[in-house]
Chains A and B, each alone.
Chain A
Amino acid sequence: MKVALFIPCYVDQFYPQVGMATVKLLEHFGVEHEFPKAQTCCGQPMANSGCMPEAKPLAMKYVDVFKGYDYIVAPSGSCVSMVRNHYETFFTDEDKAANDVRNRTYELSEFLVNVLNVREIKGRFASNVGIHQSCHGLRELRLGPSSEVMKTRPSMMTDLLAGLEGISFSKLQRTDECCGFGGTFAVAEEAVSCMMGEDRVNDHLSAGTEVLTAGDMSCLMHLEGIIRRQKHNIRVMHFAEILAEALETPVAV
């Protein structure tokens, strides 16, 4: 199995620990990995701004950089959703090679659960964890159940974490309301963005969250930014970091 790591642009530069945690997890499951150094960004910031001509070169670069791998794995629902769902703007059905690369692109939790068939991860993480369901992973990739839809679905991230010893999950008022990051929205509509983020943080504070986690570092960057500015005592970690830390923490007994 030839696996390529696809690390979101801002994770590469600002949250290297999330990438390293992903590496640790893959190595734990014996997966050989490579990091194609030419990668930069999936193009989502441009595409989400409506600038399709500006996003296209990055889509072309992506399918070129990642060709030839069995799987491309990213610790990010929104980047994977961009590649799998929204690159269709740039490629027709005839672009078989490009579409093959797109279809082999996986978000980390779905790769662990659906490809590696991981059901349990043995480790210890004795904290009250607050799950933030990042919107793209939730409603674009369907990595979990959305409260609007009358259909049950497992939450892959939660299921992977649930097996950890000592872990508990805080009970939120709103289980999957958007954090308010939204890309350039975070600055263009700063007032609403921060009110949304603050409301999420307050929900977690009321619920006793000690560690706030999600599958997308973009949401966490925004929420952590608010948490640190308001000096709250909540640790913010990508779920890959929790799993990696748990693997290093021996189970009691």
Chain B
Amino acid sequence: MSHPTLAQKFVDNKPRAQWHDKALWFVREKRDRMAASVPEWEDLRSHASAIKIHTMSQLPTYLEKFEANAKTLGVHVHWAADGDEHNRIVHEILKKHDVKKVVKSKSMLTEECHLNPFLEKNGYEVVDTDLGERIVQLREETPSHIVLPAIHIRKEEVGECFHEHLGTEKGVSDPKYLTEAARGHLRERFCTADAGITGVNFAIAETGGFVVCTNEGNADLGVSLPKLHIACMGIEKLIPRASDLAVFLRLLARSATGQPITTYSSHFHGPREGSELHMILVDNGRSGILAKPEFRRSLGCIRCGACMNTCPVYRRSGGHSYESTVPGPIGSILTPLQTPEKHASLPFACTLCGSCTDVCPVKIDLHHQLLAMRGFLDRKKLLGMSKKLSMKFLSGLLSSTWMFTTAGTAARTALRWMPRFAVYNPLNGWGKQRELPEPPMQSFRDQYAEHKKNSRGPS
């Protein structure tokens, strides 16, 4: 289904859409307060942007450097061309270690590869340990936001879900009570897991180490007990030096949730004694994006979600209306580059307001890339016949001054004479909830001509 269809459904439940909008605007406001408290905020953004552009320009070199340094630390480094290969590699590693139960901290990359259904099909028990992700997992849904996976779910609904799956009291939705129940439930999973899978927020080429940021400490718990840690990352998550973390760690949480920093920023430098650390570096279309000058800056994304929080369309349509692992502005660039036919409506789920570009911590020119995506889809002939034909018609009409003025006069005259039911009917998309402008008797150019004549008139 297209974004407009799913968005309509979301908006149809107006109270819910308003609640969702307010919840995410609140996060945007927290981000603003944090950004305002850092005098060098705009400089930090410029630095981050420059570091990412530089890294992408030398990506192969930095990746090889990272691999060499990681291997020196004792990390097993694997490369996956796409999601399927990634999943196979995870499966091989788990099989080799006789794993039955896996705990997983939040990794949008593994969502992108559809790892969970793959593992479950192959007989593994997979538990998502981020609270939001656990909630959507129990409800058999996908996350609707890359940082706040369950933002679309109200606490009453969480209460119902936990009553069904965790045995909490029926009808209770107190967040503290529900969180405590989840904590106990997840603690049991942590203690019995055979392997922990995490994502990667930043991998450092210089050291071969990587950083995972969580508020719940679920990444640490997930990999501290089992003897096997698999860390999955998209190849664009690389930064050159450890000192670059000073820029990114200051920007990430402030942009994402309006916190100065996440509760835990865990640095991993090789396996713990007696355990194994595997990393899977995944391409899955990223090098294809790198090859496109118009869109390569979107690889700078650090998956903070700020663009989603600020997007007035995302807030009022919800992440699921994008049918994309990563929704919102950044997702509407990355996903259609991969699957243009399925996701052709996404770059148009946007008014080009530019707010996303102004909040992006790495200064990706998101709204310009969304506009460029529309041209990309046109060149692939994916705009749809009716849109293309009407644009061709409009272009022809507007290229001729007399055709334009004639059409304008005709439209104004028609609107003045047509009865209301002829103007406002299901064919008139504009008129469903809005009045059309009042048609004036004269156009500006006619009034201007008169004005000029009168000012030259008798003195």
Contact = CB atoms under 8 A, between A and B. Distances in A.
Which of A57, A180, A199, A226 is the most central at the interface, judged by chain B CB atoms within 10 Å of its CB?
Answer: A199
Q: Place the interface of chain B in its size category.
A: 35 or more
B354 A139 contact: yes
A177 interface: yes
Contacts of A118: none
A225 to B, nearest CB: 3
Nearest to A7: B444
Contacts of B317: 192
A228 B411 CA distance: 20
Contact of A195 (B11, B430, B436, B447): B11
B398 interface: yes
Contacts, number: 213
Contacts of A207: none
A248 interface: no
Contacts of A184: 348, 387
A38 to B, nearest CB: 5
Interface stretch (A95-103, A123-131, A143-151, A154-162): A143-151
A193 B11 CA distance: 10
A230 to B, nearest CB: 9
A168 interface: no
Contacts of A47: 371
A23 to B, nearest CB: 7
B235 to A, nearest CB: 29
B375 interface: yes
B395 A51 contact: yes
A9 B398 contact: yes
Contacts of B246: none
Contacts of A149: 42, 358
Contacts of B350: 182, 185
Contacts of B398: 9, 40-41, 43, 58
Contacts of B432: 190, 194
- Main secondary structure on B side of the interface with A: helix
A40 B378 CA distance: 24
A40 B406 CA distance: 12
B49 to A, nearest CB: 14
B392 interface: yes
Contact of A55 (B21, B395, B430, B443): B395
A51 B388 contact: yes
Nearest to B442: A16
Contacts of B371: 47-48, 50, 86
Interface stretch (B147-155, B174-182, B194-202, B308-316): B308-316
Interface string B16-60: 010001000100000010011010011000000000000000000
A205 interface: no
B433 A192 contact: no
Interface in A1-46: 5, 7, 9, 11-20, 23, 35, 37-41, 43, 45-46
A178 B312 contact: yes
A151 B42 contact: yes
A9 B408 CA distance: 9
A57 B392 CA distance: 11
B355 A178 contact: yes
A181 interface: yes
A100 to B, nearest CB: 22
A58 B312 contact: no
Interface in B369-390: 371, 373-378, 383, 387-388
B429 A187 contact: yes
A229 B428 CA distance: 14
B352 A182 contact: yes
Contacts of B121: none
Given A41-B404, A55-B395, A224 B437 contact: yes
A222 interface: yes
Contacts of A38: 401
B414 interface: no
Nearest to A19: B444
Interface string B343-365: 00001111111110111000000
A228 B434 CA distance: 7
Contacts of B451: 20, 23
Contacts of B38: 150
A189 interface: yes
A191 B443 contact: no
Contacts of A228: 434-435
Interface string B267-284: 000000000000000000
Contacts of A199: 21
B355 A146 contact: yes
Nearest to B355: A148
B260 interface: no
Nearest to B358: A148
Which of A48, A49, A184, A197 is the most central at the interface, judged by chain B CB atoms within 10 Å of its CB?
Answer: A49
Nearest to B432: A190
Nearest to B407: A13
B348 A11 contact: no
Interface stretch (B2-10, B82-90, B161-169, B206-214): B2-10
B404 A40 contact: yes
Contacts of B399: 40, 57-58, 61
Contacts of A150: 35-36, 38, 41-42
Contacts of B377: 50
B440 interface: yes
Given A148-B32, A188-B348, 15 more contacts: A14-B439, A23-B448, A35-B448, A45-B394, A57-B395, A148-B310, A148-B355, A148-B358, A187-B429, A189-B3, A190-B430, A192-B316, A192-B349, A195-B14, A225-B436
13 contacts: A16-B440, A16-B442, A20-B448, A35-B445, A49-B387, A148-B355, A176-B355, A178-B312, A188-B429, A189-B7, A190-B429, A191-B12, A192-B4
Interface of B: 3-4, 7-8, 11-12, 14, 17, 21, 25, 32, 35-36, 38, 41-42, 310, 312-313, 316-317, 347-355, 357-359, 367, 371, 373-378, 383, 387-388, 391-392, 394-395, 398-401, 404, 408, 411-412, 429-430, 432-437, 439-440, 442-448, 451
Q: Which 6 A-B pairs have the closest CB atoms?
A: A50-B374, A182-B351, A225-B434, A139-B354, A19-B444, A148-B358
